[in-house]
Amino acid sequence: MALLIKFIPERMDWWREELGKRLPDLELRVWPEIGDPAEIEFAAVWRAKAGMLKSLPNLRFIFSLGAGVDHVLLDPDLPQGVPICRVVDPYLTQRMSEYVALHVLRYHRRQPEFDAQQMRGEWKELYFPTAPERKIGIMGLGELGADATAKLKALGFDVAGWTRSPKSLPGVANFHGPEGLGPFLARSEILVCLLPLTAETRGILSKSLFARLPKGAALINCARGAHLVEADLIPALESGQLSYATLDVFSPEPLAPNHPFWRHPRITVSPHVASITDPRTVVQLIAENVRRYRAGEPLLHLVDVKRGY
């Protein structure tokens, strides 16, 4: 039988060697060279073509090559009843927390303004509060959001979280559900989006949400591009409702060369690199879930399809 992988950007020989060590009885096939579809039991994918997974009649489970699974769930022909697993990677989590801390600190310490002053040759002190006086809001307290919250707390920031349902983290104010969103936003001077992309969260970063933030708040979106209503961002920046925005994710990707976000002075763009999945973890998780499936044991990091994560 075979394991199909869709999207491995580099080091194909490494992947073959490492997976071969752990799964010597499985043939590794790389899309689009899939051979006989009936021989494929397991698929590890990133943004698979719609209908690809349905074409595999003996598929046992689907493995998302990333923490997010919206790219799988958006497939209109997704085979029903086939378990979906995702990556939970300590390296990915660490890198995401680094990215969040970097940009929270940039806005907290007013670094974009100091950068602009440097370009003008202007020597001018700007006031900024201490970290305990700065209120940070984290939307989403899953694996990534919880770790970013802990890292920001360690730096002394006043951090609160907003989640779909109640969630308790030590020393962190938790707001939840539609009734908790308003009070959460009202205190968020720097807002970080780490939500999963679901029908409920698509387009959540919009004009109406920005209006509920303190005037001059900063936005950091490193979750999914479809969380943001792009047309609402620049007007919010130009009105002063938002001061700055950092965007690592876009819809679609890559960001078009002529897109206004590239050159807007108050927007920082990065090319979906806030965090990357470490291939060492991916190989270990794929092999472990294949072993568990064969042994009749519960799979690791199963996705709740109804919730979308």
Residues identified as active-site: 224, 272
Alpha helix ranges (H) inside 23-89: 70-73
Quote the tokens at residue 92.
């990915």
Q: Torsion angle, CA of 276/67/205/252, rounded to 10 degrees?
A: 60
CA dist., res. 282 & res. 259, Å (int): 33
Edge-to-edge, what's the strand order for the sheet holding 27-30? Answer: 27-30, 2-6, 40-45, 61-64, 84-85
